[in-house]
């Protein structure tokens, strides 16, 4: 299943509404892309998971939807 198809499934489960806020914790490129597709225009996505140093996600889609991408870094000292 593609990231767009999964986003469509999530939207259907939410009664046809896209998410106001998405929190992406896996760091996988496909999950980040799916979050962009499943978040409403003007929504927010918190990117928590760290993946590969360079990802190919649809930033043009995020820009056109005016989605705020928020980077979150949390490190626990041991």
35 within a domain of the structure (yes/no): yes
- pLDDT reported for residue 68: 98
Tell me, what CATH number does 44's domain have? 3.40.50.720
Distance CA 21, CA 23 (A): 7
What is the number of structural domains in the chain? Answer: 1
- Residue 51 dihedral angles phi and psi, to the nearest 5°: -110, -140
Outline where DSSP puts E strands in 1-78.
19-24, 39-47, 68-71
pLDDT in tens, 37-50: 999 999 999 999 88
pLDDT in tens, 2-12: 888 888 898 89
77 within a domain of the structure (yes/no): no
Q: What is the pTM of this model?
A: 0.83
Residue range of the domain that includes 20: 3-71
User: In this model, does residue 19 exceed pLDDT 80?
Assistant: yes
Distance CA 8, CA 60 (A): 19
- pLDDT reported for residue 3: 80
- Say how many CA atoms lie within 13 Å of 72 toward its Cβ: 15
78 within a domain of the structure (yes/no): no
């Amino acid at each position: 299943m593609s990231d767009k198809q999964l986003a469509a499934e999530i939207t259907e489960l939410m009664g046809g509404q896209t998410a106001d806020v998405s929190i992406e914790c896996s760091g996988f490129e496909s999950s980040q892309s799916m979050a962009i597709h499943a978040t409403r225009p003007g929504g927010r996505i918190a990117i928590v998971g760290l993946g590969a140093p360079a990802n190919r996600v649809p930033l043009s889609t995020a820009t056109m939807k005016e989605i705020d991408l928020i980077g979150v870094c949390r490190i626990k000292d041991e």
